[in-house]
Amino acid sequence: MHASAAIPVIAIDGPSASGKGTVAALAARALGFHYLDSGAIYRVTAFAARRAGVSLEDPQALAGLARGLDLRFDGGEVYLDGQPVGDAIRTEEAGRDASRIAAMPPVREALLERQRAFRQAPGLVTDGRDMGSVVFPDAALKIFLTATCEERANRRYKQLIEKGFDANLAALFQDLSERDARDAARAAAPLRQTADAHLLETSDLTIGQAVEQVLVWFREASAH
Ligand code: CDP
Protein backbone atom coordinates (compact mmCIF):
# COMPACT_ATOMS: atom_id res chain seq x y z
CA MET A 1 0.00 0.00 0.00
CA HIS A 2 1.28 3.45 -0.88
CA ALA A 3 2.01 5.44 2.31
CA SER A 4 -0.32 8.28 1.34
CA ALA A 5 -3.28 5.87 1.17
CA ALA A 6 -3.39 6.00 4.99
CA ILE A 7 -3.93 9.77 4.92
CA PRO A 8 -7.67 10.51 5.14
CA VAL A 9 -9.36 12.46 2.36
CA ILE A 10 -12.80 14.07 2.48
CA ALA A 11 -13.99 14.49 -1.12
CA ILE A 12 -16.77 17.01 -1.68
CA ASP A 13 -18.17 17.14 -5.20
CA GLY A 14 -21.10 19.04 -6.60
CA PRO A 15 -22.38 21.57 -9.12
CA SER A 16 -21.32 25.19 -9.56
CA ALA A 17 -21.95 27.67 -6.76
CA SER A 18 -23.34 25.04 -4.42
CA GLY A 19 -21.11 26.38 -1.65
CA LYS A 20 -18.91 23.29 -1.61
CA GLY A 21 -15.72 25.34 -1.58
CA THR A 22 -16.76 27.32 1.49
CA VAL A 23 -17.93 24.19 3.30
CA ALA A 24 -14.77 22.28 2.35
CA ALA A 25 -12.44 25.08 3.49
CA LEU A 26 -14.23 25.41 6.85
CA ALA A 27 -14.28 21.66 7.43
CA ALA A 28 -10.55 21.56 6.66
CA ARG A 29 -9.93 24.33 9.17
CA ALA A 30 -12.01 22.60 11.86
CA LEU A 31 -10.05 19.37 11.40
CA GLY A 32 -6.63 20.98 10.91
CA PHE A 33 -6.48 19.34 7.45
CA HIS A 34 -5.11 20.69 4.18
CA TYR A 35 -7.57 22.06 1.63
CA LEU A 36 -7.53 21.71 -2.15
CA ASP A 37 -9.83 23.80 -4.35
CA SER A 38 -9.49 21.66 -7.50
CA GLY A 39 -11.65 24.03 -9.54
CA ALA A 40 -9.02 26.74 -9.03
CA ILE A 41 -6.51 24.51 -10.84
CA TYR A 42 -8.78 24.35 -13.91
CA ARG A 43 -9.51 28.05 -13.65
CA VAL A 44 -5.85 29.04 -13.44
CA THR A 45 -4.92 26.67 -16.29
CA ALA A 46 -7.45 28.38 -18.57
CA PHE A 47 -6.25 31.76 -17.35
CA ALA A 48 -2.62 30.86 -18.06
CA ALA A 49 -3.59 29.58 -21.51
CA ARG A 50 -5.28 32.85 -22.43
CA ARG A 51 -2.32 34.80 -21.14
CA ALA A 52 0.13 32.66 -23.13
CA GLY A 53 -2.01 32.79 -26.28
CA VAL A 54 -2.67 29.03 -26.21
CA SER A 55 -5.95 28.14 -27.91
CA LEU A 56 -8.72 26.92 -25.61
CA GLU A 57 -9.62 24.51 -28.43
CA ASP A 58 -6.28 22.67 -28.44
CA PRO A 59 -6.28 19.81 -25.87
CA GLN A 60 -2.67 18.75 -26.43
CA ALA A 61 -1.27 22.27 -26.16
CA LEU A 62 -3.39 22.88 -23.05
CA ALA A 63 -2.22 19.64 -21.48
CA GLY A 64 1.41 20.59 -22.11
CA LEU A 65 0.83 23.98 -20.54
CA ALA A 66 -1.01 22.36 -17.58
CA ARG A 67 1.89 20.00 -16.90
CA GLY A 68 4.41 22.82 -16.78
CA LEU A 69 2.43 25.32 -14.72
CA ASP A 70 4.30 26.87 -11.80
CA LEU A 71 1.38 26.86 -9.34
CA ARG A 72 1.26 27.33 -5.59
CA PHE A 73 -1.59 27.71 -3.12
CA ASP A 74 -1.01 29.72 0.01
CA GLY A 75 -3.52 31.09 2.50
CA GLY A 76 -6.46 30.98 0.08
CA GLU A 77 -4.45 32.71 -2.67
CA VAL A 78 -3.30 31.07 -5.90
CA TYR A 79 0.18 31.96 -7.20
CA LEU A 80 1.07 31.54 -10.86
CA ASP A 81 4.78 31.96 -11.65
CA GLY A 82 5.18 33.37 -8.14
CA GLN A 83 2.54 36.08 -8.65
CA PRO A 84 -0.89 36.09 -6.94
CA VAL A 85 -3.66 35.75 -9.55
CA GLY A 86 -6.28 37.23 -7.21
CA ASP A 87 -9.87 37.44 -8.38
CA ALA A 88 -8.97 37.27 -12.09
CA ILE A 89 -9.86 33.55 -11.98
CA ARG A 90 -13.12 34.12 -10.08
CA THR A 91 -15.17 35.75 -12.81
CA GLU A 92 -17.95 33.86 -14.60
CA GLU A 93 -15.90 34.03 -17.81
CA ALA A 94 -13.02 32.30 -16.03
CA GLY A 95 -15.46 29.65 -14.78
CA ARG A 96 -16.77 29.08 -18.30
CA ASP A 97 -13.23 28.80 -19.69
CA ALA A 98 -12.38 26.32 -16.93
CA SER A 99 -15.44 24.23 -17.73
CA ARG A 100 -14.51 24.15 -21.44
CA ILE A 101 -10.96 22.91 -20.94
CA ALA A 102 -12.08 20.57 -18.12
CA ALA A 103 -14.05 18.57 -20.68
CA MET A 104 -10.77 17.55 -22.41
CA PRO A 105 -9.30 14.21 -21.22
CA PRO A 106 -5.63 15.19 -21.88
CA VAL A 107 -6.07 18.26 -19.68
CA ARG A 108 -7.63 16.22 -16.85
CA GLU A 109 -4.89 13.61 -17.14
CA ALA A 110 -2.19 16.30 -16.99
CA LEU A 111 -3.64 17.68 -13.75
CA LEU A 112 -4.21 14.37 -11.99
CA GLU A 113 -0.90 13.87 -10.16
CA ARG A 114 -0.74 17.53 -9.24
CA GLN A 115 -4.03 17.13 -7.39
CA ARG A 116 -3.03 13.85 -5.70
CA ALA A 117 0.13 15.52 -4.37
CA PHE A 118 -2.09 17.55 -2.02
CA ARG A 119 -2.76 14.41 0.00
CA GLN A 120 -0.52 15.27 2.93
CA ALA A 121 -0.73 14.40 6.65
CA PRO A 122 -2.76 14.83 8.73
CA GLY A 123 -5.48 14.84 6.03
CA LEU A 124 -7.08 16.61 3.08
CA VAL A 125 -10.46 18.13 2.37
CA THR A 126 -10.99 18.78 -1.31
CA ASP A 127 -13.80 19.98 -3.52
CA GLY A 128 -14.58 19.67 -7.22
CA ARG A 129 -16.47 17.47 -9.66
CA ASP A 130 -14.54 14.19 -9.64
CA MET A 131 -12.69 14.17 -6.33
CA GLY A 132 -14.53 11.08 -5.11
CA SER A 133 -14.95 9.36 -8.47
CA VAL A 134 -11.52 9.77 -10.10
CA VAL A 135 -8.89 11.66 -8.14
CA PHE A 136 -9.38 10.12 -4.67
CA PRO A 137 -11.58 7.05 -5.20
CA ASP A 138 -10.40 5.70 -1.82
CA ALA A 139 -11.49 8.85 0.09
CA ALA A 140 -12.56 8.17 3.69
CA LEU A 141 -15.68 10.24 3.13
CA LYS A 142 -17.40 11.27 -0.11
CA ILE A 143 -20.07 13.92 -0.25
CA PHE A 144 -22.20 15.19 -3.10
CA LEU A 145 -23.09 18.71 -2.06
CA THR A 146 -25.82 20.52 -3.93
CA ALA A 147 -28.63 23.08 -3.78
CA THR A 148 -31.37 24.12 -6.18
CA CYS A 149 -30.28 26.13 -9.22
CA GLU A 150 -32.21 29.18 -7.90
CA GLU A 151 -30.39 29.03 -4.58
CA ARG A 152 -27.02 28.55 -6.27
CA ALA A 153 -27.63 31.52 -8.57
CA ASN A 154 -28.45 33.60 -5.46
CA ARG A 155 -25.27 32.46 -3.74
CA ARG A 156 -23.09 33.18 -6.76
CA TYR A 157 -24.76 36.58 -7.17
CA LYS A 158 -23.91 37.56 -3.59
CA GLN A 159 -20.36 36.25 -3.97
CA LEU A 160 -19.72 38.26 -7.14
CA ILE A 161 -21.24 41.45 -5.72
CA GLU A 162 -19.12 41.08 -2.57
CA LYS A 163 -16.03 40.86 -4.77
CA GLY A 164 -17.06 44.07 -6.53
CA PHE A 165 -18.03 42.42 -9.84
CA ASP A 166 -21.17 43.23 -11.83
CA ALA A 167 -23.74 40.45 -11.73
CA ASN A 168 -27.13 39.73 -13.20
CA LEU A 169 -29.26 37.10 -11.48
CA ALA A 170 -31.10 35.86 -14.58
CA ALA A 171 -27.87 35.59 -16.57
CA LEU A 172 -26.22 33.73 -13.70
CA PHE A 173 -29.08 31.25 -13.51
CA GLN A 174 -28.72 30.61 -17.23
CA ASP A 175 -24.94 30.31 -17.03
CA LEU A 176 -25.03 27.90 -14.08
CA SER A 177 -27.62 25.69 -15.78
CA GLU A 178 -25.50 25.50 -18.93
CA ARG A 179 -22.28 24.84 -17.03
CA ASP A 180 -23.94 22.09 -14.95
CA ALA A 181 -25.28 20.47 -18.11
CA ARG A 182 -21.83 20.52 -19.73
CA ASP A 183 -20.10 19.21 -16.59
CA ALA A 184 -22.64 16.40 -16.22
CA ALA A 185 -22.85 15.44 -19.90
CA ARG A 186 -19.14 15.30 -20.73
CA ALA A 187 -17.53 11.90 -21.26
CA ALA A 188 -14.44 12.62 -19.14
CA ALA A 189 -15.11 12.51 -15.38
CA PRO A 190 -18.67 13.84 -15.56
CA LEU A 191 -20.26 15.44 -12.53
CA ARG A 192 -22.31 12.74 -10.84
CA GLN A 193 -23.07 11.43 -7.39
CA THR A 194 -21.24 8.14 -6.85
CA ALA A 195 -23.07 5.31 -5.09
CA ASP A 196 -20.82 5.64 -2.05
CA ALA A 197 -21.29 9.42 -1.62
CA HIS A 198 -23.54 11.03 0.99
CA LEU A 199 -26.00 13.52 -0.49
CA LEU A 200 -25.88 16.92 1.22
CA GLU A 201 -28.73 19.13 0.00
CA THR A 202 -27.93 22.59 1.34
CA SER A 203 -30.75 24.79 -0.01
CA ASP A 204 -32.22 25.08 3.49
CA LEU A 205 -29.02 24.77 5.51
CA THR A 206 -26.72 27.48 6.83
CA ILE A 207 -23.02 27.10 6.08
CA GLY A 208 -22.45 26.17 9.73
CA GLN A 209 -25.04 23.40 9.56
CA ALA A 210 -23.54 22.01 6.35
CA VAL A 211 -20.04 21.99 7.87
CA GLU A 212 -21.35 20.29 11.01
CA GLN A 213 -22.94 17.55 8.91
CA VAL A 214 -19.63 16.92 7.14
CA LEU A 215 -17.86 16.63 10.50
CA VAL A 216 -20.51 14.25 11.87
CA TRP A 217 -20.18 11.97 8.82
CA PHE A 218 -16.40 12.09 9.06
CA ARG A 219 -16.48 11.08 12.74
CA GLU A 220 -18.79 8.17 11.80
CA ALA A 221 -16.55 7.12 8.91
CA SER A 222 -13.43 7.31 11.10
CA ALA A 223 -15.04 5.17 13.81
CA HIS A 224 -15.37 2.20 11.44
O1 CDP B 1 -17.07 27.67 -8.19
P2 CDP B 1 -17.64 26.79 -9.26
O3 CDP B 1 -18.25 25.55 -8.68
O4 CDP B 1 -18.51 27.49 -10.22
O5 CDP B 1 -16.46 26.34 -10.16
P6 CDP B 1 -15.14 25.58 -9.80
O7 CDP B 1 -15.36 24.52 -8.78
O8 CDP B 1 -14.08 26.59 -9.53
O9 CDP B 1 -14.84 24.83 -11.19
C10 CDP B 1 -14.79 25.53 -12.41
C11 CDP B 1 -14.97 24.51 -13.53
O12 CDP B 1 -13.86 23.59 -13.50
C13 CDP B 1 -16.20 23.63 -13.41
O14 CDP B 1 -17.31 24.13 -14.14
C15 CDP B 1 -15.77 22.28 -13.97
O16 CDP B 1 -16.01 22.19 -15.34
C17 CDP B 1 -14.28 22.27 -13.80
N18 CDP B 1 -13.84 21.35 -12.74
C19 CDP B 1 -13.72 20.00 -13.06
O20 CDP B 1 -14.00 19.61 -14.16
N21 CDP B 1 -13.24 19.13 -12.13
C22 CDP B 1 -12.95 19.54 -10.89
N23 CDP B 1 -12.49 18.65 -10.01
C24 CDP B 1 -13.12 20.89 -10.53
C25 CDP B 1 -13.58 21.78 -11.48
What pTM value is reported for the model?
0.92
pLDDT digits (tens, 9 = 90+) for 65-122: 999 999 999 888 999 999 999 999 998 889 999 999 999 999 999 999 999 999 999 9
Domain-located, residue 28: yes
The domain tally of the chain equals 1
Q: Is residue 2 in some structural domain? A: no
Residue 70 is part of which domain span? Answer: 8-219
- Tell me, in angstroms, the distance from the centre of ligand 1 to residue 219's CA: 27
Q: 130 C-alpha to center of ligand 1: Å? A: 9
88 Cα to the center of ligand 1, angstroms: 15
For residue 81, count CB atoms less than 10 angstroms from its CB and return exposed for 0-12, middle for 13-18, buried for 19 or more: exposed
Question: 103 in a domain, yes or no?
Answer: yes
Q: Is the CB of 38 under 6 A from ligand 1?
A: yes
Altogether, the residues listed in the chain come to a count of: 224
CATH code where residue 168 lies: 3.40.50.300
CA–centroid distance, 42 to ligand 1, in Å, is: 7
Render pLDDT for 120-176 as a digit per residue (tens, 0 to 9): 999 999 999 999 999 999 999 999 999 999 999 999 999 899 989 899 999 999 999
Contact criterion met (CB below 8 Å) for 11 and 136:
yes
Please tell me if the CB atom of residue 130 comes closer than 6 angstroms to any atom of ligand 1: yes
Pairwise CA distance, residues 58 & 55, whole Å:
6
**From atom 25 of ligand 1, which residue's Cα is the shortest distance away?**
39
Give the whole-angstrom CA distance, residue 215 versus residue 24: 10
